Amino acid sequence: MSDLLANLNSPQLQAVTLPPVHALILAGAGSGKTRVLTTRIAWLMSTGQVGPHGVLAVTFTNKAAKEMTARLSSLVPINTRGMWIGTFHGLCNRLLRAHYREAGLPQTFQILDSADQLAMVKRLLKNLNVDDEKYPPRELCHFINAHKEQGVRAAQAEVYDNYTQKRVELYAEYENQCNREGVVDFAELLLRCYELLQRNEPLRKHYQERFRYILVDEVQDTNKLQYAWLKLLAGGGAVVFAVGDDDQSIYRFRGAEVGNMRDFEREYAGDNVIRLEQNYRSHGNILAAANAIIKNNRERLGKNLWTDAGDGEPIRAFEAYSDLEEARFVVEEIRELVRDGISPTQIALLYRSNAQSRVLENELFTKNVPYKVYGGLRFFERQEIKHALAYLRLLGNPDDDTAFLRVVNFPTRGIGARSLENLQATAHQTNSSLYNAAASLTGKSGQTVGAFIRLIEQLRVETNGLPLPEMVEHVIEKSGLAQHYRTDKEGQDRLENLDELINAAATFIDDEGAIGEGGALVSFLTLASLEAGEHQAGEGQEAVQLMSVHAAKGLEFDVVFVTGLEQGLFPHENSVNEGKDGMEEERRLMYVAVTRARQRLYVSCAQTRMLHGQTRYCVPSCFLDEIPENLLLKLNKKAEPAAFPAFGSFGGGYAEPVPSGGLRVGQTVEHAKFGIGVIVSTEGRGADARVQINFGRSGMKWLALEYAKLTPV
């Protein structure tokens, strides 16, 4: 027992050894929250308070769930394989597989990832002759998922006008299509599971009585339905132990509600709120900057990070004339860091918008600095992998129309668009799947589509009883995929990926052992869908990591560059326009960015930036002004070209005269004739002073300051 609790600090020890009461653990960045969560589970089991079967542990990524399971295995001598530790989607899938009949699902139901869902919606709009410009498929997917995440079915959706009425009708048609094909999307997994438990009292009581302790990781990222699901399972008297950081809630655009933490504190935790504030990641100056930034948010539960590792280096700040100069500065600093012995993999370049990466990538490439865009195309989302999985899905569920359409003519087998239109029309009229409707086709269409149906039937017979890896290999070869990529001049990488899919199947069998409901194939396809959003680390040389701030959450690096810190970019103009809630989320995002750094942090901005093909004149981010001056080491040069004078409290290192009138570069002003604009540059003094202003539609204008009559906005 002493070994289990060794090396825990006082608040961690308090959290781990709590009596059976609801508790909220406010775990700051780098404060050891995963350690506390897993040690809490180990302590409960090792003290005999609960067995492995009585624990439900929920997190947000498969990676986190696997890390939790691995740590738990090292702490207590138990077999964790049967434990309910996983993501919301993974656990709901497990429950629905076990109770598919009660849930109204086929035993071999398949899961649609986001690309499959989009393809289905596009097909639906086409079948119903709906204008996809008036009702864009991606927006309709978002509409459907947002409603499901609120626990709202099409029949319950509010209608405000004719446009909303049509979208609700399309939502209902989409539900019918999914039910007909026996498929579920990600949002449906949770909603279907919640509805099942809500209406089926015996089943609900079974799981409420089974799970005596419910532990939740990253509770700040839960949406309305996830929180309701947790409350439903806790309704039988389970003890809930929730860990999270409201200062790192950055997924509002996905439906996350930071207010769930305050609701949990009020409804469950009460006075049992423990703050983990000692940080084991970053040096003191970095934490001081993070604390200074986040304290400006009003709606927070409150904590203050600290460390005993010392202050460390000051935060390096650079204000560039342009995004090109910013990129040159960043890359030169990286080259110097690498020369000093820092591993490139321990250097991260963060940006608010993915559009910012182009200039950085170009400079890295030019200077021959290896880099990797973190979160690039994922393994299970690559074209050749999705083709192979579609064939496998048809073996398990021939009524899966999305899989059918992906491979019915790939590799090409002479099935034209007209044949598919006829097939889709027949399926729609007969309310059947495309696979079943194929028997009704005649003529050439009947022959070509019929040949594909016979291929699938043959594959089903030939793979019956084969071990999963051999089944995958057989399908890749006999479907024609392997031959297609062998004859493709750029197909070698795709062939290697298909080989890796076979390896993945073998690893899956080794790791999973006993397979759940539906058999090995269904379980493997479920894994592919659930992990489609997980990052797959690549092999090869060490490389600098490029990523958005959202993608960086949960990661840490020795050196971090936070670039593009300008008003309208970070904080993003869309969020600023949303008012207080949007601005507070942007500040939390900045807090996440800063706390990724262990030893050295750079912050940079540019006075001009090329975005979406246009030059943009920028003002430094308000977040820069929130960092205390005594923490900063400004790296700007003196006496640079007159076109870029000093502006803002952050930049004050440029020795360029500012014309009279109190105006400055970056300031927004109004002109009686040209309207509202932004001052780009200035020159001269007194009667000779003039300013260059970007008036948007009215263009760029040089105006004599004495006669311009400009009004600050």
> In 3D, which of 473, 487, 483 has the Cα closest to residue 388?
473
Q: Which two tokens stand for residue 354?
A: 């993915």
Strand partners, 350: 547, 562
Dmax (CA) for the chain in angstroms is 91
Half-sphere exposure of 647 (CA within 13 A, CB side): 29
- The answer to whether residues 454 and 478 touch, using CB atoms and an 8 Å cutoff, is no
How far apart CA 358 and CA 335 sit, in angstroms, is 19
Selected catalytic residue, list 217, 221, 399, 566: 217
101 is catalytic: no
Packing angle of the helix pair 33-46, 62-75 (nearest 10 deg): 50
Q: What is the arrangement of strands in the sheet containing 711-712, beginning at the earlier edge strand? A: 700-704, 690-694, 675-683, 668-671, 711-712
248 is catalytic: yes
Looking at this protein, which amino acid is placed at residue 247? Answer: D
Compute the radius of gyration of the chain from its Cα atoms.
29
Tokens 């003094």, residue located = 685
How far apart CA 198 and CA 195 sit, in angstroms, is 5
Handedness of CA 574, 577, 579, 583 (dihedral sign): positive
Question: CB atoms < 10 A from the CB of 15, how many?
Answer: 26
Pairing of strands 84-87, 315-322: unpaired
625 is catalytic: no
Tokens 């400009």, residue located = 710
Exposed/middle/buried for 368, CB within 10 Å: 0-12, 13-18, 19+? exposed
Q: Which two tokens stand for residue 212?
A: 């005596």
In 299-356, alpha helices (H)? 323-339
How far apart CA 137 and CA 119 sit, in angstroms, is 9
Selected catalytic residue, list 248, 346, 448, 608: 248
Selected catalytic residue, list 14, 17, 34, 615: 34
List Cα–Cα distances, 196 to 4, 250, 302, 620, in angstroms: 39, 30, 37, 51
71 is catalytic: no
Selected catalytic residue, list 12, 33, 275, 401: 33
- The answer to whether residues 494 and 485 touch, using CB atoms and an 8 Å cutoff, is yes
CA dihedral 56, 96, 251, 557 (to 10 degrees): 60
Selected catalytic residue, list 40, 303, 596, 600: 596
266 is catalytic: no
670 is catalytic: no
Ramachandran category for residue 647: left, alpha or beta (phi over 0 → left; psi -120 to 50 → alpha): beta
Strands (E), 155-212: 183-185
Selected catalytic residue, list 149, 218, 401, 585: 218
Q: Which residues of 446-475 are buried (b: 16+ CB within 10 A; e: fewer)?
A: bebbeebbebbeebeeebeeeebbebbbeb
SS3 234: helix
How far apart CA 23 and CA 241 sit, in angstroms, is 5
How far apart CA 85 and CA 65 sit, in angstroms, is 6
End-to-end CA distance of the chain: 65
Helix then strand then coil, in percent of the chain rounded to 5, is: 50, 15, 35
Who's near 469: CB < 8 A, 6+ residues apart? 502, 503, 505, 506, 509
How far apart CA 282 and CA 39 sit, in angstroms, is 23
How far apart CA 598 and CA 284 sit, in angstroms, is 10
Pairing of strands 597-611, 614-617: antiparallel
Instruction: Report the catalytic residues.
Output: 33-34, 217-218, 248, 596
